[in-house]
Structure 1
């Protein structure tokens, strides 16, 4: 039996390496959000969370979840 996959493991590795926050250009980290997997900005002053819909990251600042 295989291990469960991580939240954004369905993203291609090459794509995962080049994705950046569209608001501040910082790196993104994998996270589990209230609605499922998401990518979260690593910049503490930004911290926007972008949802992943059916394996496609939605990197739209207007649709990002703001940090609590």
Structure 2
């Protein structure tokens, strides 16, 4: 179960970057569960948006 979650997070992360191999993508679609990938995608989207928000706030501190 833990391995499935780790593989989902890695797959979603590489998909965000656009560097996921065709073999890994095919494996994820054939063997992975949608719910695991959906949750991993939502969590990584939240993390990405939080990082962008933090960087913008940091930039605004130095601009003023």
Q: TM-score, normalised on structure 2?
A: 0.23
Of Structure 1 and Structure 2, which has the larger fraction of its residues in strand?
A: 1
Point out the structure with the larger helix share. 2
Which structure ranks higher in relative contact order (CA pairs < 8 Å, sequence separation ≥ 6)?
2
Q: Which has the larger radius of gyration?
A: 2
Q: Normalising by the residue count of structure 1, what TM-score does the alignment of the two structures yield?
A: 0.22
